[in-house]
Amino acid sequence: MRYSTGLLSAYLALRPTQIIAVDCFTVTLANGNEYRYCNADVPVSFYNYDTTNLDSSLLSLGNLGSMVLGAAGEAPIATFVANSIRISGLKYSIKIGMGVDEQDVTISCLTPPTYPQSASVDASGDLGTGELGDMLLATDGVPSATFGPSAELIEGIPFLQALRQGLFDGAFLQRDRAFLYAWGAPPIGTVTLFHGRISSIDKIGRVEAQLKVKSDLVLLDTDFPRNIYQASCIHILFDSGCALAKSAYATSGTVGSGSTTMLINWTNTNPLATAFNEGTITFTSGELDGFSATIGLSGSTSLAMIQPLPIAPQPGDTFNAYPGCNHTTGVGGCATFNNLVHFRGYPNVPPPATAF
């Protein structure tokens, strides 16, 4: 059982004949940016606290803070968008003990294409303000589609693509149930039903993804000590412990003819042909502009991807290739980067052995 607080409790005590419940989902990325969605057909907005405004309505908003509705026309401080990302499978559960609550969640997202506005109003069909925004139909064929509404973008990247690129690593997912007395009205209050961390991504398709979320108790499963003795370096290339600047090791390249979603042909200017093994590639032009992927193997004329790209790059598309690190003190590791001072491994640790 979840207890309601504030004016929500008082409102429910009046035994209203009708009350509207809307599930609100908040995705908080590791960088602190928040993205909010709801399962209603209209957006749900929360307003700032204002004790000096006599025109304010007393609307306690539970977990989101004790707030009241500000003056008429005041902009909301948080809006849960509707008809965008659909999240299902996140249930409310209550248990006795320290067991981790693990749930399977399905996220559906179909980003509709948007098209540039025609310069000719007379020759265009006036499409008004549809779901895709203020547009006019182009007269000279259908141009290349661009990404859809901003509500379906994460850090400027389409939602499902952001999942593939790891933008949800370390992200939190929270489910609140907001109660309204009428559609379009500010919530009377909210009750938090779940707060946890995105644990793993099981599958990503064209329109939906399946992932696992775990409650915050999963932190109790963390191995201690945090750092262990091992032969290879425990740092990740270009992280704060490695102390190298990623931008300083970028090698620009151009996609050659015959490239596919798994193999990119190019001219490798690095003296060490295998320098980009287990590195990354970020496109700087073309349809894949801004997209990053992991390189499996590199050679003097090609880069082999670990996973296929969404589409095949076109000849002439540009990109930056970044080297990988094998986490050793030899070639391909700290010695290659002249960074032995930051090596955090123990090469003399004996390998695991089995005794009979």
Q: Divide the 356 residues of the chain into consecutive groups of 10 and give the mean pLDDT of each group.
A: 63 77 91 90 73 41 40 69 87 78 85 49 43 46 45 80 86 88 79 88 88 87 78 91 92 94 92 90 92 92 92 94 92 91 88 63
One-letter amino acid of 182: A
Residue 111 confidence (pLDDT): 53
> CA of 339: how far to CAs of 164, 327, 333, 343, 347, in Å?
30, 11, 9, 7, 15
CB atoms within 10 A of CB 109: 21
- Which residue, among 34, 151, 183, has the nearest Cα to 81 in the 3D structure? 151
Contact 308, 317 (CB under 8 A): no
CB atoms within 10 A of CB 264: 28
Residue 205 confidence (pLDDT): 86
Contact 217, 95 (CB under 8 A): no
- Which residue, among 161, 169, 263, has the nearest Cα to 209 in the 3D structure? 161
End-to-end, the C-alpha distance of the chain in Å comes to: 55
Whole-structure pTM value: 0.57
Query: Scanning the structure block, which residue is given the tokens 């391909």?
Result: 332
Structural Rg of the chain based on CA atoms: 26
Residue 125 confidence (pLDDT): 45
Contact 276, 266 (CB under 8 A): no
- Which residue, among 333, 305, 307, has the nearest Cα to 319 in the 3D structure? 305
Distance CA 90, CA 106 (A): 8
User: Phi/psi at 109 (nearest 5 deg)?
Assistant: -155, 120
Structure token pair of residue 239: 């992280």
1 burial (CB, 10 Å; 0-12 / 13-18 / 19+) is: exposed
Distance CA 109, CA 7 (A): 35
Distance CA 99, CA 105 (A): 19
Residue 5 confidence (pLDDT): 55
Distance CA 277, CA 296 (A): 6
Q: Looking at the DSSP assignment, which residues form a beta bridge with residue 278?
A: none
Q: What is the DSSP string of 54-105?
A: TT-B----GGG-S--B-STTPPPSEEEBSSS-EEE-------SSS---EEEE
Contact 222, 189 (CB under 8 A): no
> CA of 211: how far to CAs of 89, 160, 164, in Å?
10, 12, 12
Residue 2 confidence (pLDDT): 60
